[in-house]
Structure 1
């Protein structure tokens, strides 16, 4: 019914039991919040970098003080282990401190030599930015957007994923507790159907979305229709090349960590392991052993390495992809069976014999499933890696770092390429992809400049003042 407030029911992925219910906002109420954030922009944009930095450092302190609370909230809402949740909160705090320290330098005026008139490039805030964020990193995804956006002088409105409403409200509470002015950062609990009206409203200047390819296409079309900029970080099917000069057991340790980060629910998790033929069998054995070492366990228990997926439907979707992959010719080395227990559990799984055309090659598998692909040589491995609609992260595992650097820098079609380490976001490096993995960048100097007006200013020394000497 129009005007009726939605209700967001959380479900504990480890037990399948319902958790807390949250009342959301009507579409009209959400628009009112966005307009309040826009009204707050006029004052916030005039605050000094020093004052913004002071408040952002206080936000980092609030995060650290409430680490256990927030880690428990993520565990209950989307199944993240407590250890991973604590690490995520700390990463948010570090991100706040990074932009508090560097934002003024990243956005400093840049003089341009015009051979006469004084000229410079300045970076000025755009207004209120809408963030549409996913559930898999409930705090980090929001803070890696919010810290640079607020430090640039913009205000922000967060529309978070519907299964993490408690996290969404907690993030707003962090900024409130840190002392930010009212309405500089706001959360709106609304269903996805209300995003279009927010994008179209004059209160919103631009949009940042992290999510699926389909969500990205929808938001890009909606933003484009009203000529508003958007930054999109979408899916990934990250390929790791395992070269023939590598120690298979060492490579398998990196590969397993890359595949099972956040229970495999990461856009930059390693998904396709393209292995040169001479080491394929040894790598299969080593990766299978490593993956089997990630036993399913209570996400609240210390030492748990692999918790549940975020929802039973998500688990069933992953299992369907595994089933179709085997039917299409892949061979199952371990895992691949749904545990007989309540909750969204799925074991670490390894498929081999995967080729282009197989679901495990072509699709993004958002769960703990590794696909091994054999290549006859380096050139074929690179071609297979690039044979994807996605281009977010990529990796090279090799005994020769110089060889790996050449391939990573020049040959792989991805926004990020790491050698002998698993791909991860780092506040000091730009984050984003190419192809269907989206466009624009987050983090580092590149990220903070996405939502500013890059303005050219030229001043002629010729005076046009009235009067003057006779």
Structure 2
């Protein structure tokens, strides 16, 4: 059984069954059967299903939000926002997706008629994390179903209630049997499922270690894979920036989802001319963060689990042993649950091992940059390349950042966020491939050339 735990109280939640071999086989067979018919379903009918799934999310938004709060501790208001984002993402693909599937006419030198067609591949396995238990799944689900594929979900162990709820939303929308199913399995079962001939591709959002294992397995099997892995995103502030706004957004970006987001700002890289002024504002904003019962109107609830909280505590202690100074915070408050107060690490040695790691919790690392070249060098001096946020009013500096920051995404004078219209993904050890927009839709479609 999967045993969930409410991270706000430490009390056990619902116990949910694990699929045995017979259940896995039944779901794989159902997925294969569903795909053979779904691939022939017109795009406008697929889009209509997405719109109905969006309706189901909106109708059940409060119940869905409460499940997420109880399973992984995000605040109720942020859980509601996540459910609403899912509905918006589904509606985006329902409205604009069919046009993304239109054949592309190709101009040829000798006038030969030529077209490129987008065609579905088959059942796709999605291995998804707990931190955004609905949105991470929906940004796979919507383009997968629209493209004529079917989806199988392997969700995180601690968010199996969320996984079941998503399946319910799809079923309530009238989806054919087998079109989208949750494989209630643990990580050890993934490799055998990937090896099944009925699975044609996979996508994973998660840790480097999990991504490496899935990449190795899919590479050996010659199957397509998209990986969205960790990040240690830089938040760069230059002298021309609006410091009040930058500091306010930096705090929000660091404590979003209790710091448990791949694209949270994690390394604050501040130009030396405004370092002290920024730190004063940033510290005030971080100290003002309210913590408590995630069902209340607070800024931050607990971390997703006691294990996750302890991992961050250990990383902070390691950083201090390496020479960093804990300015304040990173403490376990006297309350039940996996809580950790926001904190700031300063004077982190650039060559410290912790400076190369992802801190998946509400603790920021601050670095001082001498100039723009130093800021870019420091931003790129990690094995990750997911997102970044740069703050400047100088057009030349903006051009430099856009050209030289080694990341899949760059936000300028704003907090980085995923939106349905834009490609989402990273480079280096942050993964490869893209989600969202037409790019995410096309990742799991076969491109067929037709000549004549």
TM-score class normalised by the smaller sequence: over 0.9
Q: What secondary structure is seen at the aligned counterpart in 2 of 1:163?
A: helix
Choose which of 157, 177, 184 in structure 2 pairs with 1:182: 177
Cα deviation, residue 336, structure 1: 2.1
Q: Contact 1:130–1:158 (CA<8 Å) still a contact in 2?
A: yes
Q: Residues of 1 paired with 2:89 and 2:327: CA distance?
A: 39
TM-superposition CA deviations, 1:114-170 (whole Å, max 9, x none) = 223321000000000000000000000000000001000000100000000100011
Match of 2:191 in 1: 196
Distance in 2 between the 1:338 and 1:326 partners?
17
Paired with 2:5 and 2:400, the residues of 1 have a C-alpha distance of: 44
Taking the TM superposition and a 5 Å limit, the aligned residue runs for 1:24-173 are 24-114=18-108, 115-173=110-168
Counterpart secondary structure, 1:77: helix
**What CA distance in whole angstroms lies between the structure 2 residues aligned with 1:235 and 1:215?**
11
Is 354-363 or 390-399 further displaced after alignment?
Answer: 354-363
Q: CA deviation at 1:315?
A: 0.2
Give the one of 313, 320, 323 matched to 1:329: 323
Work out the CA distance in 2 between the residues paired with 1:219 and 1:444: 24
Counterpart residue number, 1:415: 408
1:223-262 CA-partner distances (Å, limit 9, x unpaired): 1111100000000000011112223322111111111111
Distance 1:247 1:152 in 2: 43
- Counterpart of 2:252 (choices 257, 265, 268) is 257
Match of 1:356 among 350, 365, 368: 350
Tell which deviates more after alignment, 212-221 or 104-113. 104-113
Counterpart CA distance in 2 for 1:434 and 1:355 is 25
Query: Is the Cα contact below 8 Å between 2:72 and 2:131 reproduced in 1?
Result: yes
Please report the RMSD computed on the Cα atoms of aligned residues, expressed in angstroms. 1.1
SS in 2 for 1:336: coil
State the shift of 1:112 in Å.
1.2
Q: Rg bigger for which structure?
A: 1
Question: Residues of 2 paired with 1:355 and 1:179: CA distance?
Answer: 56
The structural deviation recorded for 1:314 is: 0.4
Contact 1:397 1:404 in 2 (8 A): no
Partner of 1:345: 339
Once the two structures are superposed, residues 11-34 of structure 1 have per-residue CA deviations (whole angstroms, 9 ceiling, x without a partner) of 000000000000110134213312
Conservation of the 8 A alpha-carbon contact between 2:372 and 2:397: no
TM-score, length-scaled by structure 2: 0.98
TM-score under structure 1 length normalisation: 0.94
**Structure 2 match to 1:228:** 223
What's the secondary structure of 1:230's corresponding residue? strand
Shift of 1:359: 4.4
Paired residues, number: 451
Structure 1 unaligned spans of 5+: 1-6, 460-470
CA contact (8 A) 1:9 1:22 kept: yes
Q: Deviations over 1:396-429 (max 9, x none)?
A: 11233x2453133201000000011111100010
5+ residue gaps, structure 2:
none
Alpha-carbon contact 1:240-1:270 (below 8 Å) kept: yes
1 CA distance for matches of 2:370 and 2:379?
13
Specify the alignment match of 2:445 in structure 1: 452
What is the DSSP-based 3-state SS (H/G/I as helix, E as strand, rest coil) of the residue aligned with 1:20?
strand
Residue matched to 2:279: 284
Separation in 2, partners of 1:345, 1:225: 41
Q: Could you tell me how far 1:79 is from its partner in structure 2?
A: 0.2
1:374 aligns with 2:373: no
CA distance in 2, matches of 1:254, 1:239: 13
- Choose 361-370 or 108-117, whichever is displaced more: 108-117
Q: CA deviation at 1:358?
A: 2.6
Q: Evaluate the alpha carbon distance shift between residue 146 and residue 404 of structure 1 in structure 2; reply closer, same or farther with a 3 A threshold.
A: farther
Shift of 1:333: 1.6
Any idea what SS the aligned residue of 1:245 has? coil
User: 2:115, 2:276 → 1: CA distance?
Assistant: 59
- CA deviations on 1:404-458 (whole Å, 9 max, x unpaired) are 5313320100000001111110001000000000000000011100000011111
Moved more, 237-246 or 430-439: 237-246
Q: Which deviates the most, 69-78 or 113-122? A: 113-122
Matches within 5 A, 1:291-330: 291-301=286-296, 303-330=297-324
Which residue of structure 2 lines up, in the alignment, with residue 443 of structure 1?
436
The Cα of 1:360 is off from its aligned counterpart by: 4.0
DSSP 3-state at the match of 2:266: strand
Aligned 8 A contact 1:11 1:19 in 2? yes
CA distance in 2, matches of 1:351, 1:169: 39
